[in-house]
Amino acid sequence: MDHLIAIDGGGTGCRALIASMDGVVLGRGASGSANLMTDLDGTCRSIVEAVEAACADAGLPAEAMRASGAFLGLAGANVSKSGERLGAILPFLDCIVVTDSIIALEGALGDADGVIAILGTGSVFVARSGGAIKSIGGWGFILSDLASGARLGQALLQETLLAHDGVHPASTLTEEVLGRFGGEPGGLVEFAKTATPRDFAAFAPLLFSFADRNDAVAARLLDDAVKSIGEALDTVKPENCERICLLGGLAPLYSKRLENRFQHLLRPPRADALQGALALARKSFAPSANSSGRGVGHE
């Protein structure tokens, strides 16, 4: 085995790096969406493209990936056997595929105990205590992923239709959303028929923006989301928890809205998910090098 490869893939995009066996990062690359739950073939293409870009950045031939060990954290890898199927077709010498929350946990906490809440297009909550890992959520926005960008966007579009029909009061926010579809509810419905989680999540920032302007609809939907985050943290958080890390694109927007009982536990992540994947690659494929004490992702 010549090199280590780390992958962080989700609905927004795929990031890759290639490193020496002792963890020195040589090159980085990025590509499109890599969500196993929605597109196995597309995820495979995105991974290969990102690794090819990382090899090029490192001045290595693309064939270098075939002599490398890869650790991949991917959205959707926790559902069915999609991770196993992907691992069988990827062009690496050896690879391990886990859900993206595992590499995020490693990056954010290192070897410490604590909780992470990933709040982006999807959502998942993971705790580690005494080496044991507990995870809840992350099953996709149709049935799960409460407080995620996809669920927020979906709820906002639903509320816009309810306001149009006169079932719930309208607000400046619902009028803004309907206006984006030419004032026609049919356009909104047509959009929703084929919308991806990422498409729905594009509407989530509007909720936070209008809530800051005291929009009643935005405030109510965000209150419901914050309540669901609190319920999840209460469920997954171990006794004597000393740190909670909020991750993902919505983390900065949610941090100031969390209930006061969680505020004193909030800590910044020690590293990102891609660095977590590299740390796990070293532990999996180069344990002797990992014991040398060199920092994750040292350039």
Please give the full DSSP string across 65-84, using - where no structure is assigned: GGGEEEEEEEBTTTSTTHHH
Specify the pTM. 0.84
**pLDDT, tens only, 71-113:** 999 988 877 677 888 888 899 999 999 988 999 999 999 999 9
Q: First and final CA of the chain: distance in angstroms?
A: 20
pLDDT digits (tens, 9 = 90+) for 109-152: 999 999 999 999 889 999 999 989 999 998 888 899 999 999 99
- Rounded Cα distance between 232 and 222, Å, is 15
Q: How far apart are CA 243 and CA 197, in angstroms?
A: 29
| 3 state SS of 236 | helix
Which residue intervals of 212-272 are DSSP H helices?
216-236, 251-255, 260-263
Q: How far apart are CA 245 and CA 103, in angstroms?
A: 13
Q: Where are the domains of the chain?
A: 3-108+271-290, 112-269
pLDDT above 50: residue 245: yes
Please tell me if the domain spanning 3-108+271-290 has the same topology as the one spanning 112-269. Answer: yes
Over residues 265-277, the pLDDT tens digits come to 999 999 999 999 9
Q: pLDDT digit string (tens) for 30-53?
A: 999 888 877 888 899 999 999 999
The two most distant CA atoms of the chain are separated, in Å, by 66
Note whether 10 and 75 are within 8 A (CB).
yes
Fold (CATH) for 3-108+271-290: Nucleotidyltransferase; domain 5 (3.30.420)
Beta-sheet pairing, 123-129 with 132-137 = antiparallel
Domain 112-269 has CATH 3.10.20.30: no
